[in-house]
């Protein structure tokens, strides 16, 4: 396996150029504009099956090279980082080939479509790390300043012993029964539905903020709309319908509860059928000494209740997480001017570039992604079983 030698520059090769590809491309560009980075990311090449569409994307983002074959792409001499922004069925083969070729890998979430694939990726990441090759999974919301700050409050003991985790991820983009059967609704491409696409974020976020992992889960999943029109192209969140219909093979919604290794009780809801909710990620954590509450639809705010205050004074108060002392916020605008969805991806790029430059293990790691995958598998097993709490498998 070749050693990674390029330090001052970090030449990034992006695979995929739809929604996630665009937001990653923008993030790689903005990261060195706003953050001091010892290894400066530069998006040098993009790979997509359709040369025309990949070419247009390259032109839009000023990317010098276009490739159509990911196998050749991961071997390229002109890239140090492979950034994977394609559907889940391609994550494992691309990530493993890239790591074996000595490329650092950033892989979109969920890490894989099955725990077995995830396990193979974790093993490849571990082998590569011995040669200084780094890997990270794209649980991007860790880069939300309010979420990173909530974790700091937990770490500082401000919540005390954690008793409850309450997490919801609510969207409504497929409520229309004529919305087409895009790849996110196909098990063989996406692995699962709302569960893996958005529930996975919740599982990671809960673990990130509290430092606790689920030990067992009990779950229900549902597919409300079982047949949908086929898409006219393999579109994303805004596809249009073509001719014919097909079967929806993933869940539309998943509800699950669990017990953590720290003794907390946790509940999770992930749905694409919450009319009126667009990208509402809500997390509340209750500890013996206090609570935090977050909603991504107001992402610059964190609500904090300090239970150690006299009862007459205590109560949830809003912290505007835009101060220079808040995670990531100091690099941007003056206090109160706020950040958006795209900034969390910039922070993800920054964290990865910094880890590569300093030789640290990036977080969230493939190992963290493997944990989430095992939870997703336990949720599906519990839902299929219909009655029992299902242990979350340990790492093999």
Residues within the interface to ligand SOE (CB under 6 A): 19, 171, 197-198, 237, 279
Nearer to ligand SOE, 194 or 302 (CB): 194
Nearer to ligand SOE, 95 or 137 (CB): 137
Cβ 141 to ligand SOE, closest distance in Å? Answer: 7
d(CA 256, CA 380): 10
Half-sphere exposure of 18 (CA within 13 A, CB side): 17
The single residue listed with the structure tokens 């949720």 is 379
Task: Single out the residue of 298, 335, 185 nearest to residue 251, CA to CA.
Answer: 185
- 92 dihedral zone (left: phi>0; alpha: psi -120 to 50; beta): alpha
Nearer to ligand SOE, 80 or 252 (CB): 252
Cβ 157 to ligand SOE, closest distance in Å? Answer: 30
Q: Which long-range contacts (CB under 8 A, 24 or more apart) does 174-179 make?
A: 174/225, 174/252, 174/272, 174/273, 175/272, 175/273, 175/275, 177/225, 177/228, 178/228, 178/229, 178/241, 179/228, 179/239, 179/241
Is there a contact between 5 and 133 (Cβ–Cβ < 8 Å)?
A: no
Cβ 197 to ligand SOE, closest distance in Å? Answer: 5
Cβ 86 to ligand SOE, closest distance in Å? Answer: 12
Cβ 22 to ligand SOE, closest distance in Å? Answer: 11
Cis peptide before 364 (omega within 30 of 0): yes
d(CA 325, CA 250): 42
Cβ 79 to ligand SOE, closest distance in Å? Answer: 24
Nearer to ligand SOE, 69 or 342 (CB): 342
Nearer to ligand SOE, 171 or 373 (CB): 171
Nearer to ligand SOE, 279 or 298 (CB): 279
**Residue whose beta carbon is closest to ligand SOE:** 197
Cis peptide before 84 (omega within 30 of 0): no
Nearer to ligand SOE, 191 or 218 (CB): 191
Q: Report the alpha-carbon angle 374-363-66, nearest 5.
A: 95
DSSP state at residue 322: -
| 183-217: b (≥16 Cβ within 10 Å) or e | bbbbbebbbbbbbbbbbbbbbbbbbbbbebbbbbb
d(CA 319, CA 86): 36
Nearer to ligand SOE, 197 or 367 (CB): 197
């Amino acid at each position: 396996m070749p050693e990674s030698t390029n330090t001052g520059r970090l030449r990034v090769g992006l695979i995929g150029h739809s929604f996630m590809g665009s937001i990653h491309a923008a993030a790689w560009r903005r990261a060195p504009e706003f953050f001091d980075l010892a290894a400066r990311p530069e998006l040098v090449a993009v790979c997509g099956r359709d040369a025309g569409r990949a070419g247009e994307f390259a032109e839009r983002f000023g990317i010098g090279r276009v490739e159509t074959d990911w196998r050749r792409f991961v071997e390229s001499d002109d890239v140090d980082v492979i950034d994977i922004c394609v559907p889940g069925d391609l994550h494992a083969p691309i990530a493993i080939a890239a790591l074996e070729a000595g490329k650092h890998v950033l892989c979109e979430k969920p890490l894989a479509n099955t725990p077995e694939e995830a396990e193979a990726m974790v093993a490849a990441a571990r082998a590569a790390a011995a040669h200084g090759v780094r890997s990270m999974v794209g649980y991007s919301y860790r880069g939300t300043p309010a979420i990173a700050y909530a974790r700091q409050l937990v770490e500082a003991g401000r919540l005390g012993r954690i008793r409850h985790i309450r997490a919801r991820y609510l969207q409504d983009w497929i409520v229309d029964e004529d919305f087409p059967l895009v790849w996110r609704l196909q098990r063989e491409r996406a692995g699962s539905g709302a569960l893996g696409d958005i529930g996975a974020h919740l599982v990671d976020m809960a673990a990130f903020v509290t430092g606790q992992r689920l030990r067992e889960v009990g779950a229900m999943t549902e597919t409300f709309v079982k047949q949908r029109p086929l898409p006219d192209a393999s579109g994303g969140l805004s596809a249009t319908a073509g001719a014919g219909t097909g079967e929806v093979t993933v869940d539309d919604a998943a509800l699950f509860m669990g017990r953590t290794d720290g003794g907390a009780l946790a509940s999770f809801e992930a749905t694409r059928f919450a009319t009126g909710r667009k990208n509402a990620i809500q997390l509340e954590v209750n500890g013996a000494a206090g609570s935090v509450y977050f909603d991504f639809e107001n992402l610059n705010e964190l609500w904090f209740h300090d239970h150690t205050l006299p009862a007459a004074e205590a109560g949830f108060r809003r912290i505007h997480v835009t101060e220079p002392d808040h995670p990531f916020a100091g690099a941007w605008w003056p206090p109160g001017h706020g950040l958006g969805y795209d900034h969390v991806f910039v922070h993800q790029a920054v964290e990865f570039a910094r880890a590569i430059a300093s030789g640290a293990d990036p977080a969230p790691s493939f190992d963290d992604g493997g944990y989430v995958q095992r939870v997703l598998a336990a949720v599906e097993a519990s839902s299929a079983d219909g009655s029992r709490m299902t242990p979350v498998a340990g790492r093999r």
